[in-house]
Amino acid sequence: MEMPPLTASTLYLVATPIGNLEDITLRALRVLRECDVVAAEDTRRTGQLLKHFEISKPLLSYFQFNEARRSEEIIERLRRGEKVALATDAGSPGISDPGERVVKAAIAAGFRVEAVPGACALVAALTASGLPTDEFHFIGFLPHKSGQRRNQLEALKTFAGTLVLYESPYRIEKLLVELSEVFPKRQVVLARELTKRFEEFLRGTPAELLAIKQKRSLKGEFVVMVAGEV
């Protein structure tokens, strides 16, 4: 079946692989091939992705610290009838990644925004975690400052659903210490290197996982899931 052409003056939010390049969708590839420009969080990384799939497109740098200026430029391109694809380093734009501001700006200016769904670390980790999926609360990354982190975790103690956080390998030990203090008896699942060769799920109490972390090196970005209040 022949798919309809892309719509002019539309912002396409293109989910990209979080590790395994086979997770790119056919629709994502078509949008990247047919759009006029790709706004990318990291032009080098997205450029490598495009090169792998033999796609050649102009790239526009779009990241946290130039969002306001780039949003204006993207809106102007949409006014000219261009089809703009927005991609982040990995996963779905706007989920702990740039994208929210330009989506709001595009909608406010009356332009169409279309999601091109695909890989998302949050969904991949939660569905394979073994923890309840019927109700969950996504926090993304906690603040860097210890006091703010602790306050946010304390505020979540009464939530009944599964808590889902993102964490870097540099702060995972700190987070496990904090979880052992705030949620000492809860079941916690660490998912790391999702969709990659060394994908791993570790399950246990915060103290049990902390003991594992102190015995071996755990690399890669983490999705951390905490069972809800029983």
pLDDT averaged over 10-residue windows placed end to end, the chain, 230 residues? 88 97 97 97 94 96 79 95 96 89 95 97 97 96 93 94 96 96 97 96 98 92 92
Do 56 and 98 belong to one domain? yes
Cβ atoms of 222 and 192 within 8 Å: the answer is yes
Do 70 and 157 belong to one domain? no
Do 106 and 168 belong to one domain? no
Identify whether 5 is part of a domain: no
The last residue of a domain, from among 116, 140, 155: 116
Identify whether 143 is part of a domain: yes
CA gyration radius for the chain? Answer: 19
Cβ atoms of 137 and 161 within 8 Å: the answer is yes
- Domain span holding position 129: 121-226
The last residue of a domain, from among 59, 88, 116: 116
Identify whether 1 is part of a domain: no
The last residue of a domain, from among 98, 116, 134: 116
Show the DSSP H helices in 80-215 as ranges: 100-108, 121-129, 146-155, 172-182, 206-215
